[in-house]
Amino acid sequence: MRPEIMALLAATCWATASTFSVGPTQRLGAIGFSRLRMAFASVLLWVLALASGGWHTLQAASMGLLALSGVIGIFVGDTALFACMNRLGPRRSGVLFACHALFSALLAWVWLGEVLWGWALLGSAMLMGGVMIAILWGKRSNEAHLWEQTRGPLAVAVGLGLLAALCQSLATLMLKPLMTTDIDPIAASAVRTTLAFVAHGALWASGWKPARSGGPITLRDAGLVFLGAALAMALGMTLILRALHDGQAGIVAIFSSVSPIVILPLLWLIYRRRPAVGAWIGASLAIAGTALILGHT
State the SS3 of the chain: CCHHHHHHHHHHHHHHHHHCCHHHHHHHCHHHHHHHHHHHHHHHHHHHHHHHCHHHHCCHHHHHHHHHHHHHHHHHHHHHHHHHHHHHHHHHHHHHHCCHHHHHHHHHHHHHCCCCCHHHHHHHHHHHHHHHHHHHCCCCCCCCCHHHCCCCCHHHHHHHHHHHHHHHHHHHHCCHHHHCCCCCHHHHHHHHHHHHHHHHHHHHHCCCHHHCCCCCCCHHHHHHHHHHHHHHHHHHHHHHHHHHHHCCHHHHHHHHCCHHHHHHHHHHHHHCCCCCHHHHHHHHHHHHHHHHHHHCC
pLDDT of residue 263: 78
pLDDT of residue 23: 84
pLDDT of residue 147: 55
For the chain, 297 residues long, give each residue's pLDDT as a single digit of tens. 899 999 999 999 988 998 888 889 888 888 899 999 999 999 999 999 999 999 999 999 999 999 999 999 999 999 999 889 888 877 778 778 878 888 888 888 888 888 878 887 888 888 888 877 876 776 665 555 555 566 778 889 889 999 999 999 999 899 999 999 999 999 999 999 999 999 999 999 988 887 877 778 899 999 999 999 999 999 999 999 999 998 988 889 888 888 877 877 777 777 677 777 877 888 888 888 888 887 766
pLDDT of residue 59: 93
The structure's pTM equals 0.84
pLDDT of residue 146: 58
